[in-house]
Structure 1
Amino acid sequence: MENEKALIVFSGGQDSTTCLFWAKERFADVIALSFDYGQKHVLELDCAKAICKKYGVEHHTMNLGLLGEITSNSLTRLDMDVDKEVEEGSLPNSFVDGRNMLFFTFAAIFAKQKGIKHIVTGVSQSDYSGYPDCRDIFVKSLNVTANLAMEYDFVIHTPLMWLDKAQTWGLADRIGVLDIIKNETLTCYNGIIGDGCGECPACNLRRNGYEKYVESKA
């Protein structure tokens, strides 16, 4: 793959930034694509842009604002707080219906226009917070659908699919970007870079994973 290009679906968070550097090790060129879907933590787009500028990655932002207008969830509605606890069998209110389906579909369309077949995303079934569109079976099914729809041989790469958060920190460490991930990415639902607010589910997952990884090295 050393002579090929890759497109990464990029939010500027821990997972997608880890995948960005994973891709930079494996492909001749990497282009990042972020999505503005009306998220209230819109600072993630600024973070994504800053990371790409700093590390020499071509960056694009695509407007999918309609998604925020037609869905009801705590990531797009200012009057809704993110669930801190979720009943078993229920989806968290931070789940955005159809988000990854649209992201991957538009990413594939964008990639084809640039002659890119490889698409990289940071979704994980091992640490997916109950989001059904982060499952391996969904990604594989959409990969097949995109190939059929456009008569194009896309390959969707999911480096984190079977890694938990501690293992994701470990991957970042192995490729030499742990400090970048810890200090320059934005995972927090409240839009705070680095360690975040320390209270939202995303921050808790990130912190617990980091602490588990550090303990494993001790």
Structure 2
Amino acid sequence: MIKDKALVVFSGGQDSTTCLFWARERYAEVEAVTFQYGQRHKRELECAADIARELGVRQHVLDLSLLNQLAPSALTRDNMDIKEEEGQLPTTFVDGRNLLFLSFAAVLVKQRGGRHLVTGVCETDFSGYPDCRDIFIKSLNVTLNLAMDYSFVIETPLMWLNKAETWALSDRMGVLDYVRTKTLTCYNGVMADGCGECPACRLRRRGLEQYLAGRDGEEAQ
């Protein structure tokens, strides 16, 4: 375990909760930061708070509601449909979200005396969001170091994992059932396995089914 402090960008979803457990295995101190940016479902914020409280993790909640005013998205506006059309960014994309989240998280972790930022962005199984790409994270890491003259390290443990592999990681840490039942990934605000219909739920379910089928097949041999 590294004797350092890590700050996890934490929404209470599958990916960020997996990252929270990942960080707790590696760092002496782990805190979480959750952003209120006008999400359609307050249950997301409640879910994140519940998990942090249950795990005994100090949670910081920052108000970035201005983002909703500047960058309308289906994640923040009830009057926008959730759509994914070929050749276009999904309507769930929020311009500047990860840029702002990680920038504010960097300010916070520096004030808290840490250097490690952990985020669940992923380039393998993602919705085409440009701010989930590895090249963006590496670029921002350099920019933050220069901007604050401080050696930040942005950790992306899920960057090259597909959803099945993300479930496998949670299982190796012994928290698969916790992640499955306690997190909220659904765009429609339904806990655990979700609504089953939105893009986030379909991706999550497909990954879980692939992982469980592979695991059960190995155990049967």
What's the TM-score once normalised by structure 1's chain length?
0.97
1-structure distance, mates of 2:170, 2:81: 30
Residue of structure 1 in register with 2:182 after alignment: 184
Pairing 1:140-159 to 2, within 5 Å after superposition: 140-159=138-157
SS in 1 for 2:2: coil
The question of 1:124 aligning with 2:125 is answered no
Q: Count how many residue pairs are aligned between Structure 1 and Structure 2.
A: 216
Pairing 1:37-76 to 2, within 5 Å after superposition: 37-76=37-76
2-structure distance, mates of 1:108, 1:2: 19
1-structure distance, mates of 2:42, 2:13: 12
1-structure distance, mates of 2:214, 2:41: 32
Deviation at 1:2, TM superposition (A): 2.2
The question of 1:202 aligning with 2:186 is answered no
Residue of structure 2 in register with 1:34 after alignment: 34
1-structure distance, mates of 2:32, 2:81: 29
Q: Which runs of 4+ in 1 moved over 3 A?
A: none
Deviation at 1:90, TM superposition (A): 1.1
What's the TM-score once normalised by structure 2's chain length?
0.96
SS in 1 for 2:33: strand
2-structure distance, mates of 1:178, 1:35: 25
Deviation at 1:81, TM superposition (A): 1.8
Q: State percent identity of aligned pairs.
A: 62
Residue of structure 1 in register with 2:163 after alignment: 165
CA RMSD across the alignment: 0.8
Unaligned ranges ≥5, structure 2: none
Unaligned ranges ≥5, structure 1: none
- Superposed CA deviations along residues 103-142 of structure 1, whole A, max 9, x for unmatched, are 0000001111111100000000001110000000000000
2-structure distance, mates of 1:80, 1:216: 38
1-structure distance, mates of 2:20, 2:162: 18
